[in-house]
Amino acid sequence: MNTEIEAIEKEPGANPAMPANFIEVSINEDIKTGKYGNRVHTRFPPEPNGYLHIGHAKSICLNFGLAIKYGGKCNLRFDDTNPTKEDVEYVDSIQEDVKWLGFDWDDRKYYASDYFEKIYELTVELIKKGKAYVCDLTAEETRQYRGTLTEPGKESPYRSRTVEENLALFEKMRAGEFPEGSRVLRAKIDMASPNLNMRDPVLYRIVRTNHHRTGDTWCIYPMYDYAHPISDSIENITHSICTLEFEDHRPLYDWTLATLGIYQSRQIEFARLNITNTIMSKRYLRRLVEEGYVNGWDDPRMPTISGLRRRGFTPESIRDFCDRIGVAKSNSLVDVAMLEHCIREDLNTKAPRVMGVLKPLKVIIDNYPADQVEELVAENNPENPEMGSRTMPFSREIYIEQDDFMEDPPKKFFRLAPGKEVRLKQAYIIKCEQVVKDEQTGEIVELHCSYDPDTKSGSGTANRKVKGVLHWVSAAQAVKAEVRLYDYLLLDNQDHEEAEGAAKDFVDTLNPNSLEVLANCLIEPSIKTAQVGNRFQFMRNGYFSLDRESTPQMPVFNRIVSLKDSWAKQGQK
């Protein structure tokens, strides 16, 4: 490969306009020195114990993006070393998410379980070198012996077992001769190390649970921190990119490869993604699902990739978001408004405009012919003329938004009010003549208006100007729909990730109004042909996507995001 690096502009994840981040600087240096023979080979290594979330999207874009930029390769590897929490459902969802984001691992899909036999053989060699021993301490005793950040640990009384004893015990562990939790295999490193991860960490434990791929073939499983570097080595990974919490684990990563004397990949850590008002812990997300706070992993309120996809986010918008936030060495908190800005910007030129009334108020235009239906022409997207136009029916009875009328409005209310005029988008100017209320509740049930036939939009005679412009739908032809309005799951902006001793449970900060269901919405008839996943801008209401729970009788739309863009207005870049 040429040491002059060329970015592939059209591929997802390769953005030559972005300045080199610190990971790319390191890779450039390795290429310059020929450390890995000018190769760049990364991997995305999810644990199949839940659905991926937006934080994983950053890692996917980074790992696959680096491979694309440098003309290298990226593997998909499932680190399936904990059978108690793993499932083939998660494996399938992860593959779907990666492909949906626009990336492909070609024929390089692997599992840590592919290497169980090889890892076992290498571990036997580790024992023979006197670098690992079988320990009988209980979990609580192991914690007590470990020491603290300021005090060294104590050596296990089983640390002095001979190589022969350890080999025999390890073989019996594999043969299933010991109960679960009764013994572990530990590395023999340094119980006085200032890094707690180097104080004789556990390498293998006994787990009597069926594995989703290997069944009951194994009853001992390597720990993640041990299996991961070996898996990287077996796959000849050059740069093992992981999040910052693994920085303190890097000495163990390097020790494992060096002590075993196998190919040494290089671990580089970057800051994980934290977003305001967003839960970024897979453990917490699992709890939301299992305890019924949300309706599954793909609930559109969830920050999972499947949840974002169902809500209506595009892969382009998520890749753009990951590009914008960049790659840093220190953790920070990203405003969720930036993610919302990215989807608005992407859909602005893609999403056709339609009129949808979410909280309908009936309007009768008394001087419009009762049996007449006009077909008015409306452009599908003013930002993209190539999307063409459509026709919309207009008739004597229409619906507008309840919020677009006030009986006693303030001075700067430019929508409809008694005696006031507004323009109906693509149609006529109307004037409110009468307000009809329910005699018992006093609720406004309908308005009677008049229209000016000389003010038809686009007619060449529509010279009169009014300040208010309202969207509307024709009563007879409108399609009844259910609309789901989503808000943030968390009420505050704090990062609740793994907070030990937190004053309150994170569920106490869940937003009780994160979902509002509107059951009697009316949408213009052009959406009758919409397919699940199609995205629209409902004028003045936001961007919406047709949900998979839709039926021909009742389409269901998820609000992707409102039209308001606070992040763009603040001038943040």
How many Cβ atoms are within 10 Å of 521's Cβ, its own excluded? Answer: 24
**Residue 282, annotated ligand binder?**
yes
Task: Report whether 424 contacts 430 (CB < 8 A).
Answer: yes
**Residue 273, annotated ligand binder?**
yes
User: How far is residue 564's CA from residue 567's CA, in Å, rounded to a whole number?
Assistant: 9
**Residue 56, annotated ligand binder?**
yes
**Residue 53, annotated ligand binder?**
yes
Q: How far apart are the first and last CA of the chain?
A: 35
**Residue 224, annotated ligand binder?**
yes
Select which of 131, 282, 301, 420 is catalytic.
Answer: 282
- Catalytic residue list contains 407: no
**Residue 161, annotated ligand binder?**
no
**Residue 57, annotated ligand binder?**
yes
- Catalytic residue list contains 359: no
Select which of 69, 73, 272, 420 is catalytic.
Answer: 272
- Secondary structure E strands in 273-373: 274-275, 333-334, 353-354, 356-357, 360-365
Among candidates 541, 381, 375, which has minimal Cα distance to 458?
A: 375
Task: Report whether 77 contacts 98 (CB < 8 A).
Answer: no
- Catalytic residue list contains 282: yes
Among candidates 251, 282, 257, which has minimal Cα distance to 82?
A: 282
Q: Where are the alpha helices (DSSP H) in 278-335?
A: 282-290, 305-311, 315-325
Helix (H) or strand (E) holding 560: strand 556-561
User: 9 φ, ψ to 5°?
Assistant: -65, -35
558 burial via Cβ count (<10 Å: 0-12, 13-18, 19+): buried
CA atoms within 13 A on the CB side of 568: 10
**Residue 54, annotated ligand binder?**
yes
**Residue 47, annotated ligand binder?**
yes
Among candidates 285, 321, 322, 282, which has minimal Cα distance to 302?
A: 285
**Residue 41, annotated ligand binder?**
no
**Residue 239, annotated ligand binder?**
no
**Residue 281, annotated ligand binder?**
yes
Task: Report whether 392 contacts 524 (CB < 8 A).
Answer: yes
Q: Binding site membership: which residues?
A: 47-49, 53-59, 79, 224, 243, 272-273, 280-282
The residues carrying an active-site annotation are: 47, 272, 282
Q: Binding site membership for L-glutamine: which residues?
A: 79, 224
